[in-house]
Amino acid sequence: MQDDVGQTSQPVQAVPVIQITRHRYRAGLTPGGMARRIAQQGMNTDVSATARGKVGKDAAGDVPAADNQDFLHVGIVADDQGEPMRYQVTVQPSGRQFAAETDETLLDAALRQGLTMPYGCKDGACGACKGQVMSGSVEHGMAQPHALTDQEKTAGLALYCCARPTSDLTIECKQLRSAHDIPVKTLPARIEKLERLAPDVIEIHLRLPANEHLQFLAGQYIDILLKDGRKRSFSLANAPRDDGMLELHIRHVPGGFFTEQVFTTMKVRDIMRFNGPHGSFHLHDDSSKPVILLAGGTGFAPIKGIVEQALATDCKRPLHIYWGAKARVDLYQHELPERWAAEHTHIKYIPVLSEATAEDAWGGRCGLVHQAVVSDFPDLSGHQVYACGSPVMIGVAKQEFVNVCGLPEEEFFSDAFTFASN
Ligand SMILES: Cc1cc2nc3c(=O)[nH]c(=O)nc-3n(C[C@H](O)[C@H](O)[C@H](O)COP(=O)(O)OP(=O)(O)OC[C@H]3O[C@@H](n4cnc5c(N)ncnc54)[C@H](O)[C@@H]3O)c2cc1C
Ligand code: FES
């Protein structure tokens, strides 16, 4: 999904433009090591942008003209031996720092150094990793126009899963955390069970080789690796289990390269390969705030995993599960959250249908699922929200929860079900 071929350099020079002091490190050297080498060799690699050319209208900083930005970028992606350069990235408001090379994305660099930031598709499609570049410049790589508009680029925003540094940077990320030390593995798996849960949803159980185990956080996803190099992302629908079984809920995309096979030719005992786990969508246990779990369609999959994990760890935070679907048949495991709510006073379940018909004989809530949350929780200032489903639902939910209900932006966590670019 993530393509390493970058597009034409489209730098972000954010507001305000600062006096950029650039440290260029050869790959493999830590900033400290480079500093020592500089000291030993008497090199001076500090080059202020203003010393190299006019970068802004004035020192206080305006957005510089595109020509000037280009000027800043020429020839800085590799050193004189063709090796990638390394830049320092400072993350605000925490002030934490990490090093990023010109040939890796900011997200990959952060993950490599034990830090994690919100992300979903890693494909420039979902916008979950979007943030403000406060100073310095980046190349936007494979950012897709619907996830990062030209206006947003001009305003200094970037998708950290695609953006590569072309200078030292200061970026904003309020949800920067230490990464859980979970290895990403590539494994074969055998299909143990294929069960039709709804006309367009199949549940798959994957069994790992006897000596293998996949460590993951409930809510994360895996990439199914297809024979021709394509990948397809699916959320893990269960919490980690002793027998290592992995559950997926797969919605049929008519004509879709992979899901068409799932619904036609795939059979029990087939072998597939995947890698994972991926993603930052999991219940953050450093908070005791009540939780809204918002699912659209098969977005229920990771929500199910999260609730299973909360029950397994005896987490007593209030969990309000909102599951939106078109018709009753699409609430393909309706009885499960009903049972959770019946057995646990801290769990509530509110199913919402957007296109219920008379056939459904539906006596429950109707309309758009995020609007049900807005009407039940006009004040979300003390909550966390975990939302999973279509990018459109995630987008409007975030906007209304933050702007109308006062949800702090950093308390909105999401996984948007975007589709692969190949
Ligand atoms: C992090 C993540 C987790 C995901 N988890 C799940 C999950 O648990 N369950 C699940 O059912 N799906 C999930 N998805 C979506 C799923 O990955 C895609 O639906 C799937 O890749 C489609 O593969 P395909 O080869 O059948 O279709 P493709 O051949 O990739 O697509 C064919 C065409 O169908 C359309 N299309 C494809 N997928 C979608 C879609 N999701 N919505 C609308 N139109 C689409 C596009 O126009 C596309 O060009 C997830 C996506 C992401 C990024
Ligand atoms: S756009 Fe970066 S993770 Fe989806």
pLDDT digits (tens, 9 = 90+) for 274-328: 999 999 999 998 899 999 999 999 999 999 999 999 999 999 999 999 999 999 9
Q: What is the dihedral of CA 232, 238, 241, 245, to 10 degrees?
A: -40
Most confident listed range (109-113, 209-213, 254-258, 283-287): 254-258
Q: Looking at the CA of residue 148, tell me the nearest atom of ligand 2.
A: 1
Reduced to 3 states (helix: H, G, I; strand: E, B; else coil), residue 400 is: helix
Residue in 278, 235, 233 with CA at minimum distance from that of residue 111: 278
Ligand 1 pocket (Cβ < 6 Å) reads: 120-121, 221, 232-235, 249-251, 253, 255-260, 279, 298, 301, 415, 417-420
d(CA 180, CA 10): 33
Least confident segment among 15-19, 208-212, 296-300: 15-19
Q: Please answer whether residues 3 and 421 qualify as being in contact, where contact means their C-beta atoms are separated by less than 8 angstroms.
A: yes
Number of neighbours of residue 363 by Cβ within 10 angstroms:
7
Task: Give the pLDDT confidence of 76-125 residue by residue, as tens digits.
Answer: 445 566 677 899 999 999 999 999 999 999 999 999 898 989 998 899 99
- Give the ligand at the shortest distance from the Cα of 116: 2
Q: Choose between 335 and 113: higher pLDDT.
A: 335
> In the predicted model, what is the mean pLDDT of residues 238-249?
95
Number of neighbours of residue 84 by Cβ within 10 angstroms:
18
The reply to whether CATH 3.90.470.20 applies to domain 291-416 is no
d(CA 296, CA 118): 20
Reduced to 3 states (helix: H, G, I; strand: E, B; else coil), residue 41 is: helix
Q: 157: Cβ below 6 Å to ligand 2?
A: no
> In the predicted model, what is the mean pLDDT of residues 20-37?
36
Instruction: For strands 96-101 and 138-139, give the pairing.
Output: unpaired
Buried b (16+ CB within 10 A) or exposed e, 322-332: bbbbebbebbb
Asked if the model's pLDDT at residue 48 lies above 80, the reply is no
Q: 119: Cβ below 6 Å to ligand 2?
A: yes
Query: In the CATH scheme, what architecture does the domain 185-278 have?
Result: Beta Barrel (2.40)
Asked if the model's pLDDT at residue 67 lies above 60, the reply is no
pLDDT of residue 246: 98
pLDDT of residue 81: 63
Q: Would the CA dihedral through 251, 252, 253, 256 be positive or negative?
A: positive
197 has which bridge partners? none
> In the predicted model, what is the mean pLDDT of residues 177-206?
92
Note the pTM of the prediction, 2 decimals.
0.79
pLDDT of residue 79: 56
Q: What percent of the chain has pLDDT over 90?
A: 72
Q: How high is the mean pLDDT of the chain? A: 83
Parse the chain into domains and list their residue ranges. Answer: 21-178, 185-278, 291-416
Please provide the distance, in angstroms rounded to a whole number, between the alpha carbons at the two ends of the chain: 7
Q: 391: Cβ below 6 Å to ligand 2?
A: no
| Token output for 111 | 């993950």
> In the predicted model, what is the mean pLDDT of residues 355-381?
96
Topology adopted by domain 21-178:
Ubiquitin-like (UB roll) (3.10.20)
- Give the ligand at the shortest distance from the Cα of 391: 1
